[in-house]
Amino acid sequence: MPSLLFSQQKETIKIEINTGYQQFEMTAFNERINNPDNFGFLSDKALNDISISSGFKHGLIISYQTSPYFSLGFYGSFQNGNVIREINYSSELPFEPFFDTVIGERRYEINSINVGVSSSFLLHNLNFWQKYPSLARIESAITFQIGYGFANMGWYDVHKYTVDEVLMRKFKSNGLDLGACLRLGYILLNDNLFSSIGFCFGYQYFITTDLKSEGGKLFIDESNKTPLNFSGFNAGVYLTIGK
């Protein structure tokens, strides 16, 4: 028991890998992709609404425990989401000589890479926690993150019977990234090397600037301003290794 408590309290370096489910608040983006005025050649057919409301997030944290109660470090993460709309429209275009009807898909994809600093308050090293032997291998912490994110959005038209005809557009944006989460895990110990596995529950605030193409044009056109809002609750699992 004393060696376990010592490993939790001494100065340590930890590497954490995490993955989980992330909610999004893509209200403006979803309104743009469902506005009939923006369908172009798809506007001759009634289409069901589509939306991106969630995705997956994967991250890496490298931290140093500066005291029994706090750790500081750096984080990086990648998150993404997508949605597909079936398309079916009449065409007399030169590249569709054998089909009166074009069948395919329009795919919307969003993602971001976020980097910044991370700090954790280690609840499991508080005096009241250590009074209970049954909690000796249970860890808990509140983690805060602040950084910056670089987001991308792309939409692609894929024609099922002319796979060489793929139309694509790409847009970029960026913004401040804030996050907080509660962690609860189980500590594994083996001499000087230890690790833990557990769950994390939190919230992310990340709203980007308006989407722009590489040429500086706004999505969908100059009359529209469309940020990406990755804000939302998240839940996932993590694995840490420390020494």
Residue with the two structure tokens 């996932």: 236
What values do phi and psi take at 161, rounded to 5?
-105, 0
Pairing of strands 212-213, 138-159: unpaired
Rounded to two decimals, the pTM is 0.83
- Residue 204 pLDDT > 80, yes or no? yes
Asked whether residue 223 carries a pLDDT value surpassing 80, the answer given is no
pLDDT tens digits, 153-168? 988 877 766 555 566 7
Q: What is the CA radius of gyration of the chain?
A: 23
Cα–Cα distance measured from residue 237 to residue 140, given in angstroms and rounded to the nearest whole number: 13
* 141 within 8 A of 184, measured Cβ to Cβ: no
Euclidean distance between CA atoms 170 and 127, whole angstroms:
53
Asked if pLDDT for residue 169 goes beyond 70, the answer is yes
pLDDT in tens, 37-62: 766 555 445 577 899 999 999 999 99
Please name the residues in contact with 9: beta carbons below 8 A apart, sequence gap of 6 or more.
Answer: 68, 125
> Can you give the pLDDT at residue 230?
97
Every domain of the chain and the residues it spans: 1-116+141-178+226-232
